[in-house]
Structure formats: structure tokens, C-alpha cells
Amino acid sequence: MEKIYTSTRNKALARTPKEAVVKGIAEDGGLFVYDALDTLRLPLQDMMQMTYEQMAETVLQLLLPDFTEEEVKDCVENAYKGKFRDEHITPLHKAGNTNILELFHGPTCAFKDVGLRMLPQLMSKSLQQHPDEHVMILTATSGDTGKAALEGFLDVPRTGITVFYPDEGVSNIQRLQMITTKGSNTCVCAIRGNFDDAQSNVKRIFQNAQLSARLKEKGITLSSANSINIGRLIPQVVYYVYAYKEMVRTKEITFGEKVNFCVPTGNYGNVLAGYYAKLMCLPVNKFIVASNSNNVLFDFLKDGVYDRNRPFYKTISPSMDILISSNLERLLYYKSGKDADYIAQLMNELEATGRYQVREDIFTSVREDFAGGYCDDAACAQSMREFYEQSGYVMDPHTAIAYKVMKDYEKEDSMHKCVLLSTASPYKFAPAVYEALFNETIQDEFACMEMLQQKSGSAMPKPLAELAKMDILHSHLIDKDDMPSFVETIGEEIFHG
């Protein structure tokens, strides 16, 4: 198979799709991209008649062409069949006048399930070519990726997974979801620091040649379950097409009409998947990028300067408490005319100074496809309350931020219909949601979830309700500088212990 995936920083570093899935990140720290992506075309007319699973098969065949039709069918069935609480996987729900794409019906109640149910399936098929190889998945999480990755890779043969999370940077429910995970191949570790510390150090581990060599001697290869891995990102393209199909089916739009998508994001992976769909001709006018007080993306979309040298805020939307947005690198690769040398230069600047400014032509091109907005915790809480009072619909803080940003953007563009992406169940953030809706504070999260269900009439997801009875199985806490040695020790324990 042709090596069609190359590094954003060096086109000479090329891999087949299966190799890119196993590798996760390129040797130079760049991210794998499909150079010819903008020449591919989704069969949109046909896809309007497809189920979610059929759409997933179509997208995977197009973007991962070294997987056979049979392999893709197996992956889709194993990833999604009977694993989501809604048969439509990512249903489009209308509340009031707002079209909400609900991405939280998977086993861990967050949008990450869509990609992280699929990635282990793709990884398993890819590993069949390397019978003696074991893969250790390393993941940094700001809350939701961790549990979704742990569930996805739970007891998958020849894989192990270690998740790093900021000790004080996730909600208590998110923490409990992770540290109660069973499985003989799972490990969860808190670090003293924030998400950016976790993510940056995971990336450095991937570039640590000595560590990689020592692990390779033991038959262990490192890979990633973050959206830097194309096997995690590509499945997310599907729900943009599905949302469009549902907008057509419900006569919100006619086929061919352009829509907007409003996406809460910190790492830029979720919205980038939508941009991939647009590159393959999904009719999209604008992606509206919604940020919390850690508004580095908002500032970038305003003036073309990416600057992470700023205060870091802990907010009630912790999954977006991020100042280093990894997937922006992929967007800039395409917007720069696929100039890998230029991207390498920008990323070196970011590493050295914490900032970079893109060329004017690139910034203009980015602004053609993306708009940005942000809101703080107070505006987020008000947004949750107002939407609940208007429609009876309970949304989580990340979705509420996107709702506020979407309403602000409608003042500029009321012509295009907008789809709001809802990324997590409100029950994952029950204290913040309950306080916003009812102006009362309940400290105990499980009591709070019960009261939220009782007073709002919404349904608490079963996986979250069961957390209260589960045993804590992981209690590691380390300094960020100890992550490499920790990975080596855990790899030894999981595969040779």
C-alpha cells in the first residue's frame, strides 16, 4: 500500500494508513495528514440514504484505503453495534429552535466515544501485520478522552493503555470514571500540573529515541489515543455528514444548502473533523469555534497570533481548559498549501517562545472557514439556565458555551442554519449544571445527579449512576518529569509482568 500519510513537518516521513494508526505521531513530532485529502469526494447524494454505520464504512474506506471492505465492516460493527444508548449513535435533537447534535450517548457519555470505540478496532486490524508487536497507548486527558480511551482499549489483545490526567484539572465524576476502570491492560495516573503539561510530556515521550529503543527491545511500540492519531480523528468526520443528512431529512434545509456548525473545542480535533468533511465537499459555510476563558483559539481567529503565554484558568468546562491546541497544526498544514517546512518553523517557534504568527494569506484563508467566540463561567451558567427555562433541555457547560457563542454569531449571520454540537452529558458536570439551573449548591456529586434528574425530568445515564458503587483501582500520582520512567515501568508490568 502506498504511504499516503505524511508528517505535517516533513513530507519525507511517510506511512501507510495502517502504519500511521499504529504509530500515532510522526518521529519528528509532526501529525500525520493525508496529502490528497482535498481531492477526495464524499458520495453525498448516496450518503443521504445511509444509516450512521453505512456512512462510517464509506468514510473509513475513503480515508483509510489499505483496510479491506471486510475489515472496515468488522471495525464498524465491533465499535458501534449495541454500544450506544441511542440506535442512531449521534442523534440530531431539536430543542426550541436549536438543532443539537448529541454526541454523548456512548459508554462514557462524551463525544470522545465516537472516535475511541473505533480506534482500538483499527489498531487491532493494523497490528495483524506485526504478530510480535505490542502497542502501549499513551493518552493525556483533560477529562473525557481518558475514560473513553480506557473503555475502548479495555482488554484488547496486544495493547496496553496508560492515561495521564491533571490531578486537579478534571471533574470528580471524570476522575471516578477513570480510576475505577477494570482490565488487565489499563493504567491511570494523575500528574502534578495541568493538561498542557500532560499533553506536552506525552509528545516528548514519543520523541524520546532512547526510551523508544529500550521499549522496542521488549517488543513494545508507543502510540496515542488522542486526536493527534488519525485513527481517532477520522471516525469523527462521520457525524458531521450524519448531522447534514438529518437536517435535510427533517426539512430544516434542502440538499446542497450550506450550514454552520458551532463546536466547543480546546484541542481543535472535534472541529478539524468537520473541516475534513468540508474539504471533501460537505456544504458548510462556517465552523464557529467556541472557547471558555482559556481563549487562545478565539484570539488566534481574531488576529492570526497563537500565543499560549497567558494565565491558565480552571473553569466549569474543564475539558476545554487547554492552551496548546494540537490539531491546529493540521489545519495550518492545509491552509499553508501543504508547506511542511513552514509548519515545522511555526512549531519550533511555539516550542521556543510559546507563540507564532501565521502569514496574512493563511490567516485570511482560515477566516473564510472559521469564526470564533468565547464566554466565561458566569455567561456559561446563564446560558445553561436560559436554555433550560426556554426549552426544558439540560445541557452541559461545554455545550452551553457553544450555545452562547452560536447566539452571538447569529447577530452576524442569520442566513445559515446552525447545528450545535453537544459534547457531553450534563450529568458528568452535575454540580455546575444544578447550581446554574436551580441556584442551589449540592456538594455530593451523586446526590446532585439524583436531584438534577428529579427536578429536570432528564435521565441520568446508567454508566454514571453506577460509579458510586465501584471500587477505586488506580491511585498513582507523579511529577510530570517522572512520566517517561513511569511509562517504562508500566509497559514492563502490563506486557511482561
pLDDT score recorded for residue 162: 98
Same-domain check for residues 269 and 349: yes
- Contact at 8 Å (CB) between 186 and 175? no
Q: Please, which residues bridge with residue 324 across strands?
A: none
**What one-letter code names the amino acid at 296?**
V
Nearest CA to 222 out of 26, 488, 23, 31 is that of 23
Residue 106 near residue 144 (C-beta atoms within 8 A): no
Write the CATH number for 160.
3.40.50.1100
Do residues 259 and 247 lie in contact, with contact meaning Cβ atoms separated by under 8 Å? Answer: yes
- For residues 255 and 174, membership in a common domain is answered with no
Q: Do residues 334 and 482 both lie within one domain?
A: no
Strands (E), 239-354: 259-264, 284-291, 305-307
In a domain, 397, yes or no: yes
Q: What is the DSSP letter of 278?
A: H
320 with 423, same domain: the answer is: yes
CA 52 to chain centre: 19
Please indicate, yes or no, whether residues 297 and 438 belong to a single structural domain of this protein: yes
Which pLDDT score is estimated for 326? 93
Q: Where are the beta strands (DSSP E) in 304-441?
A: 305-307, 355-357, 370-374, 418-422
Quote the cell numbers at residue 418.
Answer: 446552525
Same domain, yes or no, for 216 and 283? no
- Exposure string (b/e) for 424-452, b if CB count within 10 Å is 16 or more? bbbbbbbbbbbbbbeeeebeebbebbbbb
Is residue 195, in this structure, part of any structural domain at all?
yes
Query: What sections of 36-68 are H helices per DSSP?
Result: 44-47, 52-63
Q: Are both 461 and 477 inside the same structural domain?
A: no
- Alpha carbon distance 248, 403 (integer Å): 22
Distance separating the N- and C-terminal Cα atoms of the chain:
36
CA dist 104 and 88 (Å) reads 12
Q: pLDDT per position in the chain (497 positions), as tens? A: 799 999 999 999 999 999 999 999 999 999 999 999 999 999 999 999 999 999 999 999 999 999 999 999 999 999 999 999 999 999 999 999 999 999 999 999 999 999 999 999 999 999 998 888 899 999 999 888 999 999 999 999 999 999 999 999 999 999 999 999 999 999 999 999 999 999 999 999 999 999 999 999 999 999 999 899 999 999 999 999 999 999 999 999 999 999 999 999 999 999 999 999 999 999 999 999 999 999 999 999 999 999 999 999 999 999 999 999 999 999 999 999 999 999 999 999 999 999 999 999 999 999 999 999 999 999 999 999 999 999 999 999 999 999 999 999 999 888 999 999 999 999 999 999 999 999 999 989 999 999 999 999 999 999 999 999 999 999 999 999 999 999 999 999 999 87
463 CB-near residues (< 8 Å, 6+ apart): 107, 108, 109, 177
| Cα three-residue angle 377-329-167, rounded to 5 degrees | 45
Alpha-carbon gap, residue 399 to 383, rounded angstroms = 9
Q: 31 lies in a domain?
A: no
Phi, psi of 316 (to 5 degrees): -80, 0
Q: Using DSSP, state whether 372 is helix, strand or coil.
A: strand
Give the β-pairing of 5-7 and 32-34. Answer: antiparallel
Q: Give the number of C-alpha atoms closer than 13 A to the C-alpha of residue 432, restricted to the C-beta side.
A: 27
Residue 315 and residue 169 share a domain? no
pLDDT value of residue 373: 98
- Domain boundaries, position 421: 92-104+234-468
Q: How many helices (H) and strands (E) does the chain have?
A: 21, 16
At 443 the pLDDT is 87
pLDDT score at 450: 97
Beta bridge partner(s), residue 223: 137
DSSP secondary structure of 125-156:
HHHTT-TT-EEEEEEE-SSHHHHHHHHHHTT-
- 191 phi and psi, to 5 degrees? -120, 150
In a domain, 8, yes or no: no
In a domain, 48, yes or no: no
Residue 17 inside a domain? The answer is no
222: Cβ contacts below 8 Å, ≥ 6 apart: 24, 135, 136, 138, 205, 206, 212, 215, 487
Residue 2, amino acid: E
Q: Minimal CA–CA distance to 134: which of 149, 124, 122, 147?
A: 124
Looking at the structure, tell me whether residues 252 and 285 fall in a common domain: yes
Nearest CA to 26 out of 275, 347, 321, 266 is that of: 347
**Domain annotation covers residue 438:** yes
What is the number of structural domains in the chain?
2
Residue 468 gets which letter from DSSP?
A: G
**What pLDDT is recorded for position 409?**
97
The backbone torsions φ and ψ at residue 235, rounded to the nearest 5 degrees and listed phi first, read -60, -25
- 273 and 311 both lie in a single domain: yes
Name the β-bridge partners of 224.
Answer: 138
Do 390 and 495 share a domain, yes or no? no
What is residue 179's predicted lDDT score, i.e. its pLDDT?
A: 98
Domain co-membership, 195 together with 340? no
Q: How high is the pLDDT of residue 395?
A: 98
d(CA 425, CA 111): 9
The alpha carbon of 190 is separated from its chain's Cα centroid by a whole number of angstroms, namely: 20
| DSSP state letter for 459 | P
Report yes or no on 33 lying in a domain: no
Grid cell listed for 92: 440530531
